[in-house]
Structure 1
Amino acid sequence: MCLTREGKKLLPHIYELTRVMDTLREAAKKESDPDGELRVVSGETLLSYRMPQVLQRFRQRAPKVRLSLQSLNCYVIRDALLNDEADVGVFYRVGNDDALNRRELGEQSLVLVASPQIADVDFTEPGRHNACSFIINEPQCVFRQIFESTLRQRRSTVENTIELLSIESIKRCVAANIGVSYLPRFAVEKELESGELIELPFGEQSQTITAMCAHHAGKAVSPAMHTFIQCVEESFVAG
């Protein structure tokens, strides 16, 4: 196939148009590359056991982003997003979040754990007093609230409550038979598999909490936010 004389005259213009289009594509790509600062807040169990995979993916895809990462209570995270004090939150749903754009990451089952050496406890019997400690973190912890609410419904009690700051310290104390705890299953999977901890019966069905990734619904989603949210969703799907 041969070009006509008129076609040959148009070739320089076609080449120039192609060059301009390539330049525009490159400029658009550079402009959309994630950069700047990203403020992320997360619940402690999610940050400790689910977020490392997310952060690894994100660093590979967005090395220019200055990431600010903080562990907070889920109620504080919700309020921080609503008040534009954080860009993205990965936490458990606590309600009053209609102003948030939410992506649910699945139901996380909760489990009552103890040392294999524990004796004479039964958390399924209504009205029973269990002479052991409940080891957990601060009062607004979502799974603490669920556990204590369930005990109230059953009119059951424990000897006392021990508040610790970190999930790891809670697990170590439980393994040492100082008390029991109520935690997301993914946070104690290794200890249950190794036999360091055992699961205690707590009900016919496992109670669950909803993990989610969220940002303020009125907030413009930056390339950094978009990339981070993608990494979160991919990591939770992968398990």
Structure 2
Amino acid sequence: MDLRRFVTFKTVVEEGTFAQAARKLCCTQSTVTFQIQQLEQELSYPVFEKVGRRMVLTPAGKRLLPRVRELTRVLEEIRQISSREEEVAGDLRVMVGETLLAYKMPEVLKLFRIKAPKVRLSLQSVNCYAIRDSLLADDIDLGVFYRVGHDDALHMEFFGKQELVLVTSPLLQNIDFTHTDQHIPVNFIINEPQCVFRQLFESTLRERKITLDSTIELWSIESIKKCVASNLGVSFLPRFAVLRELESGELREIPFATVPLSITALCAHHAGRTASPAMKTFIECMRQCLS
């Protein structure tokens, strides 16, 4: 098989149309069409179908895509063999949980830029379940998130348990979350329903039969902290995310559990994938900055 046809296939997927793929590959649209036709002939099944103006993967094409991505990564590694060892290059797609990205990753990213300046880094902040799903689907190279399952299909490297704390404004007094069977007249300020520490907090409230006035959903952790400091409600966040505000007195920690609840931070990639030089460098930067 001609490996260029697989590169063309991957480019059409990324660009959405044959015309846009041709522009990226610096060739004619008829060349792209011919290469896809030849690929489908060799495979004996169609990989694309046209929906409107876009080319959409067939079910067989969807199953093929992860293998093609792995193949192109191997080709990239082969090209790098003749390069100097310290010159790590290529693409690296990383998804990171928001609190980790905001408070733990800046030093990691700074060091990675120094060690791998030629790597084209694609960075996205999404929730932990979406990161795990993308890793299992082999759609990204690395995920930095909180553990949300026990997936054997992932290779995980752990970076410690992160303690969670219940915080409020110093103005809010006389509330106690340790007693069961009660309604507490405050708002819970947090982000989306799939937030790991939100789920842990809400499940604990259900166990204790505690109800609150309402839930205010905000995307930004900084916005959540400002609203809590303004006495609009309480929040349940990793201690490292509110450490500065606790030390300054802007926020106050209140008791929630005898043994502090925690979540585990990790970096993972698909277990069936060979770690590229860029992936190895990124993980090493995490070890240096977070261990």
Partner of 2:94: 40
Letter in 1 for 2:206: R
Letter in 1 for 2:250: E
* 1:47/1:143 CA distance change after superposition, 3 Å: same
Partner of 1:57: 111
Task: Pick one of 82, 85, 97 that aligns with 2:136.
Answer: 82
Task: Pick one of 104, 123, 145 that aligns with 2:177.
Answer: 123
Task: Pick one of 223, 226, 235 that aligns with 2:280.
Answer: 226
**What is the distance in 2 between the residues matched to 1:61 and 1:51?**
15
**What is the distance in 2 between the residues matched to 1:159 and 1:120?**
16
Give unmatched runs, 5+ long, in structure 1.
1-26
Task: Give RMSD over aligned pairs.
Answer: 1.1
Residue by residue, what CA displacement relative to the aligned partner does 1:186-220 show, whole Å, maximum 9, x if unpaired?
00000000000000100111000000000001111
Counterpart contact for 1:122–1:128, Cα < 8 Å = no
**What is the distance in 1 between the residues matched to 2:284 and 2:88?**
13
Matches within 5 A, 1:115-154: 115-154=169-208
**What is the distance in 2 between the residues matched to 1:32 and 1:224?**
11
Partner of 1:7: none
Deviation at 1:31, TM superposition (A): 5.5
Letter in 1 for 2:136: L
Deviation at 1:96, TM superposition (A): 4.1
The structure whose Rg is larger is 1
**What is the distance in 2 between the residues matched to 1:45 and 1:82?**
22
Q: Does 1:216 align with 2:242?
A: no
Deviation at 1:82, TM superposition (A): 1.0
TM-score, normalised relative to structure 2:
0.71
**What is the distance in 2 between the residues matched to 1:61 and 1:36?**
13
Using the aligned pairs only, state the percent identity.
62
**What is the distance in 1 between the residues matched to 2:174 and 2:277?**
55
Q: Does 1:108 align with 2:162?
A: yes
**What is the distance in 1 between the residues matched to 2:88 and 2:155?**
20
Task: Pick one of 238, 243, 246 that aligns with 1:192.
Answer: 246
**What is the distance in 2 between the residues matched to 1:61 and 1:150?**
43
Counterpart contact for 1:33–1:223, Cα < 8 Å = no
Letter in 2 for 1:40: V
Matched residue count = 211
Runs (4+) of structure 1 moved beyond 2 Å? none
Q: Does 1:69 align with 2:123?
A: yes
Counterpart contact for 1:77–1:89, Cα < 8 Å = yes
Q: Which segment drifts farther, 116-125 or 44-53?
A: 116-125
Task: Pick one of 206, 209, 212 that aligns with 1:155.
Answer: 209
Task: Pick one of 169, 172, 175 that aligns with 2:226.
Answer: 172
Name the structure, 1 or 2, with higher relative contact order (CA <8 Å, separation 6+): 1
Partner of 1:16: none
**What is the distance in 2 between the residues matched to 1:98 and 1:105?**
18
Letter in 2 for 1:209: I
Q: Does 1:201 align with 2:255?
A: yes
**What is the distance in 2 between the residues matched to 1:119 and 1:208?**
25
Matches within 5 A, 1:21-36: 30=84, 33-36=87-90
Counterpart contact for 1:38–1:67, Cα < 8 Å = yes
TM-score, normalised relative to structure 1:
0.86
* 1:235/1:31 CA distance change after superposition, 3 Å: closer
